Amino acid sequence: MYDDEPISSFVFSNEETTQTFHHQWFAQGELHECATCFSSIHADEPPSQHWLRGGEASQGLQLTKQQQAVLDIIEARQIETFFFCDESSKDKLDHFMGETCARGVPELLRWMFQNNTVAVEFSLACYVNSMDQVLIFQSGSLRVDHHYDVDECVGVVYEMLMQRIENYLHCSSEYGMAECSITRLKVQVKRIRVDAESQPAESALFALPLQLKQDEGLSTKSTSTTSESELASLRSAYLKHFRECNGYFPPNMRVNLYGLQQCKTTKELYVVPYHVSETLQQLPNKNFLILNNIMGQFQRLHELSTPVKSLERDQLSSPLRELHCRRCRTQFSRSSKLHIHEKLRCGQDFSVDSMHADIVEIYEQCLPISRSVFQYACYGITKPKTVMRKGQFVPIECDWRSESSVKVQHGPCVVISNAQHSSPCKFY
């Protein structure tokens, strides 16, 4: 992802019987041709065929049978705490955490958007091994309202955590970042789901992606001029022709429909035409944005005030305005990052704690998740943690009268202490 906020444009070119689409963006003072957003269709076909043949359809999250089985267990056991573990990252403090926050944590949160989940709240805690102690840096809780916002939200939290680790070690520790390592990352996730019995307004349930909310080039209606009956009729017509005609809409469907694409290179969202109808008389067509869930399934139509047009060259060369937080004066290159930073209240809810040298945290009978999914070992926490002090196990938040609650059970465990325990490990 580029540091500067990319300004996108899309180009449709016709050559004989072929219509070609390609995406380009302006960032860091240069115009970039995208190598990942490209498609070709027959010149007589509607623009929807670009996205149905590999664009929009391919961006839905597709789980394997094994991944779906793991997700079913997570839901059945109501697991909300996960650990990413790796012992090979002692050479660099931010190597393991950086890679996990770039891939593992976002992928985990995208999993959580399954099955009628409309938003997730998450927080991160990283365990920093600083020679003779373990420092626990905890982020504040952040709500993610759209699955397209996951990468950027995790990225902002990661940057703020790393900045606080660096500042703390510089001011309060005799050791520098070179002498420290991170081998544990805890993710706490809470899912916000749709209540099947209540039926609030669709716009209240399914939010716009944050990049679109912050995009001044995309004007959205605060109050729709389309009646509920008109919207229901349009929704039914869209779904019918989408299913039965594979995206071919009749000429008398006098609306302009647009879809969302996410660039695999920049992770940026951009709006593309899906169905553009000719305007009759002097009454302009209404414009709607198609919003789908993480599986690529239809959610709702969002009305736009004006048609979406490709940016002109003089707009692409205009300088980006400077963004900064009014409270802490931190500067940002992306308006969406500034918004996330403000939601986190400039890190006011972030905290740091330390673990006593005699304490060992043990998380028993964890749910292992394949490394092929998240690169590093990941475990769902199914039981309350147990702490060990001076050779004795003391259960926390469990039945003190139950003998079984103080025994270490067989199965994968996550162990955190000042000593260099391997993880995961088994106790017999």
pLDDT digits (tens, 9 = 90+) for 140-179: 999 999 999 999 999 999 999 999 998 888 887 677 777 7
What the block records as the tokens of 335 is 């308006």
Local confidence band at 186 (pLDDT 50, 70, 90 cut-offs): very high
> DSSP state, 366?
-
231 three-state secondary structure: helix
Q: For residues 392 and 146, give the distance between their C-alpha atoms in angstroms, rounded to a whole number.
A: 45
How far the first Cα of the chain sits from its last, in Å, is 46
Task: Please name the amino acid found at residue 374.
Answer: F
Local confidence band at 393 (pLDDT 50, 70, 90 cut-offs): very low
The answer to whether residue 80 scores a pLDDT higher than 90 is: yes
In the prediction, which pLDDT does 55 show?
47
The answer to whether residue 256 scores a pLDDT higher than 80 is: yes
In the prediction, which pLDDT does 358 show?
77
The answer to whether residue 10 scores a pLDDT higher than 90 is: no
Local confidence band at 308 (pLDDT 50, 70, 90 cut-offs): low
pLDDT digits (tens, 9 = 90+) for 107-128: 999 999 988 889 999 999 999 8
Angle at 206 between CA 202 and CA 209, to 5 degrees: 140
Nearest-Å Rg of the Cα atoms of the chain is 25
Percent of the chain with pLDDT over 90: 21
Instruction: Please give the C-alpha separations between residue 106 and each of 120, 180, 385, in angstroms, as whole numbers.
Output: 12, 25, 25
Domain ranges of the chain: 7-62+199-215+226-304, 80-195+330-418
pLDDT digits (tens, 9 = 90+) for 204-233: 567 889 888 755 445 455 555 778 888 888
| Enclosing H/E stretch for 309 | none
Residue 217, sorted as left (phi over 0), alpha (psi -120 to 50) or beta, turns out to be alpha
Angle at 306 between CA 300 and CA 308, to 5 degrees: 80
In the prediction, which pLDDT does 250 show?
80
67 three-state secondary structure: helix
Mean pLDDT over the full length of the chain? 78
CB atoms within 10 A of CB 141: 15
Q: Which residue has the higher pLDDT, 199 or 314?
A: 199
Q: Name the packing angle between helices 335-343 and 150-172 (round to 10°).
A: 60
What the block records as the tokens of 107 is 């992928």
Q: For residues 344 and 160, is the Cβ–Cβ distance under 8 A?
A: yes
The answer to whether residue 406 scores a pLDDT higher than 50 is: no
Q: Looking at mean pLDDT, say which of 93-107, 195-209, 377-391 comes out highest.
A: 93-107
In the prediction, which pLDDT does 204 show?
52
Q: For residues 287 and 256, is the Cβ–Cβ distance under 8 A?
A: yes
**Which of 102-111, 218-227, 245-254, 406-415 has the least mean pLDDT?**
406-415
pLDDT digits (tens, 9 = 90+) for 367-379: 888 766 777 889 9
CB atoms within 10 A of CB 161: 24
Q: Looking at 137-280, list the stretches that DSSP marks H as alpha helix, in order from N- to C-terminal side.
A: 150-172, 202-205, 210-213, 228-244
In the prediction, which pLDDT does 394 show?
43
Residue 195, judged by CB atoms within 10 A of its CB (0-12, 13-18, 19+), counts as: exposed
Percent of the chain with pLDDT over 70: 76
The answer to whether residue 409 scores a pLDDT higher than 50 is: no
Burial 294-319 (b: 16+ CB within 10 A, else e): beeeeebbbbbeeebebbeeeebeee
pLDDT digits (tens, 9 = 90+) for 25-34: 777 788 888 8
